[in-house]
Structure 1
Amino acid sequence: MPIELESGAFEFARHDTVGVERQDKKGGWRRIGQLDLQSSRSDLAVIDASETNVAHQAHLVDAGQRLRFWSHLERQSLKRRTDAVDRILAGNGRSRDLLGVFDPRAGAVPQNVSHRPAEGSLGIYGLNPDQEAAFARIVANRPVGLLQGPPGTGKTRFIAALAHYALTKGLARNVLLASQSHEAVNTAAEAVLTLFRNGGVQPSLLRIGRDEEQVSLPLRAYHTPKVEQGFKDRFRASFRDRLAEIASALGLPDSAADEIAAIETTIRPLAESLAELTQQEDVDQQRLNSLLDTLRRHLERLDAATLLDDEETREWSSLSDDVAQAPPLAGTLSAAFHARSAASRASSLERARSSPEPAWVWGAPRWD
């Protein structure tokens, strides 16, 4: 249905869930469905009402009726912020006396930490004399510093200098840059990044933001989803090597490590895709056949292709476990564990015979 925005911006993250409510004649709001983010735009709302009891109505929304959209991510964000404010008001924040700093009745005074920047140490920041004086006062006093200035007076440069100085001089292990706008955070974080790079240092930086479009290009490599994916990729890349080390420690042959890696990195993902696909009402037969062919080829390499003989009744969620328990791999693992167990018992017996102390067997002292 066509829409006309009265207020706000029609901007939602791709992975968000957006509910739609309509206003009745009495001014109350009632949920009527979920916004289809792929098909909707700022002048057109596509609403999925299949999971509500209004789906059977001939007219979901009347002409001129008001709608409002609520974002699940925004509500979660609001809840976290509300909880944080409640903790501060209850005196349970990281700085328990923070409220007293802003209460004139508390008579709070700054706590001087006797820190003064060394002569010439602020030169790399390009601050003017007034800014350097303000900088010295802020780093020397706790717990709050206030910097005020009209636009264009170098506040962003000052913020970047303060963050860089605090980290490089050991005044802080972590620095949080926050603002009411993403653009302000981007500008300040880029300035911090430039200072570190000018010094030949690659900072440990995370840019937190709901959507990549809110993050400037120089900072996208530090966007939390991208950093998280990088860790996952490196973990997967080293999976085989780490598994080989574990197998060696357990006395397993290299072939067993290869087979376990194949089950976890290939068989299990294929089985999960098949489980999801076969639960759909309208199964894509071409994709199903393609997945089955790929799975069959991998199972043949593990001498476990017979597990697909009953593919029509197969419980795909348990396939990877069934492969691990199939005779080829299960026999290898069993033989290796029995061999290691026998070696361990022989080693224990040898130590017991060469020791003057009693060897405790079945709970009773016994000397050989």
Structure 2
Amino acid sequence: MDKRHEKLRIPYRKEGESLDYESDAKVEALQEINGELIRVGNVDIRETTQSTLVLENPKIRIQTNIGDTLKLRSQQDLSSFIRRRHAVTRILNAESAIPSLINYFEPLTCPHPQYLQPEPTDSDLDAYNRYDKDGELSFSLNRQQRDAFSKLWSYGPLSLLQGPPGTGKTSFIASFIHYALSQGAQSILLASQSHEAVNNAAEKVIELCQHSNLPLDVVRFGAEGMVSEKLHPYHSSSILQNYRDLFRSEMRVRISAMNRNLGLPNKFVERWFDIEYQLKRLNREIERLTTKLNKNEISEANNNPLIARINQRLERFKKIASEKFGLSCHG
């Protein structure tokens, strides 16, 4: 126990993936004591490593014997849990967008499918044929996939598609989403338990939309380190960064205007602004993440998400340094 700062350092082992919270995340530690799950402290994310858990203001009731279990819950986790609980309650109370949704999971009360819209024609689905550089057909929805596509599109409001690995589900999903967009769909949520599955399907949707010149707005949510390189520009953090860059570019103009009273060379002020608000900010973030990585006393393989975040910021640093300042960065 660090009495000066009221911090408790606990050697620990985590089941599943390594911790990957953002440095400013609010995470609380919970423990079941006498049958009740209570908060026993707040996690200091900046000081916590992959082998030592650091708790701020730990409760005196906390149990830290070998084998004792702690549950970590971020504010985001709690918000997600509350939203899911409200959603399930609405479904059970028949208040969901589909009031009878729960009946579709009861064999004895399952409603008949509703006819929603005409089936796509074979000509419509031929639009998803792909050809190699020699003009040979490399991909096409087969008859079974076309029949499934038609049923899912024409009947609802709930559908289930099942298929073993290697049967083209990712290409099917991408084609289905593209077709829905081409028919006027406004909002589509693509979700999976696997980051890789979302990455693959989203990349194919983007490819299809680019090939057919269909406008598309994509926002990729999830852990930044788990997002594929092709989807980095579409990640929520990248989109927010673009807005920040726009704001800073406008601020740059304002600072240049204020410089008239200072009498400094405009080129100098503009260069200072770019360094301070772009390179210096990124450098601080890289140093913070690198320090966090160096504190982790585990194998590099378990630090993949953290390493990916560092590499992404390094690439952005090099790109800005090269494009704005003509500098070549190594290492």
Change in Cα spacing, 1:29 to 1:148, as seen in structure 2 (3 Å) is closer
1:204 & 1:91 partners in 2: Cα distance? 32
1:72 & 1:127 partners in 2: Cα distance? 44
2:251 & 2:18 partners in 1: Cα distance? 43
Change in Cα spacing, 1:75 to 1:8, as seen in structure 2 (3 Å) is farther
Give the aligned partner of residue 191 of structure 2. Answer: 178
Deviation at 1:106, TM superposition (A): 3.1
Deviation at 1:235, TM superposition (A): 5.0
Deviation at 1:2, TM superposition (A): 5.3
2:102 & 2:38 partners in 1: Cα distance? 39
Give the aligned partner of residue 144 of structure 2. Answer: 130
Question: 1:19 and 2:36 equivalent?
Answer: no
Percent of pairs identical after alignment? Answer: 34
Give the aligned partner of residue 325 of structure 2. Answer: none
- Please give the residue correspondences for 1:355-366 in structure 2 after superposition, counting only pairs within 5 Å: none
Deviation at 1:208, TM superposition (A): 1.9
- What RMSD, in angstroms, separates the aligned Cα atoms of the two structures? 3.1
Larger radius of gyration: 1
Deviation at 1:135, TM superposition (A): 0.8
Match of 2:246 among 212, 234, 244: 234
Change in Cα spacing, 1:107 to 1:72, as seen in structure 2 (3 Å) is closer
Q: Is the 8 A contact 1:182 1:214 kept in 2?
A: yes
- Other structure's SS at 1:45 match: strand
Change in Cα spacing, 1:64 to 1:135, as seen in structure 2 (3 Å) is closer
- Other structure's SS at 2:11 match: coil
After TM superposition, the structure 1 stretch with the greater mean CA deviation from structure 2, 160-169 or 91-100, is 91-100
Match of 1:222 among 227, 234, 252: 234
- Please give the residue correspondences for 1:224-303 in structure 2 after superposition, counting only pairs within 5 Å: 224-234=236-246, 237=249
Give the aligned partner of residue 49 of structure 2. Answer: 41
Which ranges of structure 2 fall in alignment gaps of 5 or more residues? 1-8, 129-139, 262-331
Change in Cα spacing, 1:237 to 1:201, as seen in structure 2 (3 Å) is farther
Taking structure 1 as the reference length, the TM-score comes to 0.56
1:90 & 1:185 partners in 2: Cα distance? 31
The number of residues matched between the two structures is: 238
1:101 & 1:67 partners in 2: Cα distance? 38
Question: 1:192 and 2:200 equivalent?
Answer: no
Which ranges of structure 1 fall in alignment gaps of 5 or more residues? 244-254, 260-368
- Other structure's SS at 2:172 match: helix
- Please give the residue correspondences for 1:1-368 in structure 2 after superposition, counting only pairs within 5 Å: 1=9, 3-5=11-13, 7-14=15-22, 15-22=24-31, 26=34, 30-49=38-57, 52=58, 54=60, 61-125=64-128, 126-170=140-184, 172-209=185-222, 211-234=223-246, 237=249
Q: Is the 8 A contact 2:10 2:53 kept in 1?
A: yes
Q: Is the 8 A contact 2:12 2:53 kept in 1?
A: no
1:8 & 1:163 partners in 2: Cα distance? 32
2:148 & 2:43 partners in 1: Cα distance? 50
1:262-311 Cα offsets, whole Å, 9 max, x none, are xxxxxxxxxxxxxxxxxxxxxxxxxxxxxxxxxxxxxxxxxxxxxxxxxx
Deviation at 1:155, TM superposition (A): 0.8
Taking structure 2 as the reference length, the TM-score comes to 0.62
Q: Is the 8 A contact 1:21 1:29 kept in 2?
A: yes
1:113 & 1:159 partners in 2: Cα distance? 19
2:85 & 2:68 partners in 1: Cα distance? 31
- Other structure's SS at 1:32 match: strand
2:169 & 2:66 partners in 1: Cα distance? 49
Q: Is the 8 A contact 2:31 2:39 kept in 1?
A: yes
1:45 & 1:53 partners in 2: Cα distance? 15
- Other structure's SS at 2:123 match: coil
1:87-108 Cα offsets, whole Å, 9 max, x none, are 1222222222322333334351
Q: Is the 8 A contact 2:41 2:59 kept in 1?
A: no
1:37 & 1:234 partners in 2: Cα distance? 30
Q: Is the 8 A contact 1:131 1:158 kept in 2?
A: yes
Q: Is the 8 A contact 2:182 2:214 kept in 1?
A: no
Change in Cα spacing, 1:63 to 1:110, as seen in structure 2 (3 Å) is closer
Deviation at 1:194, TM superposition (A): 1.3
After TM superposition, the structure 1 stretch with the greater mean CA deviation from structure 2, 102-111 or 216-225, is 102-111
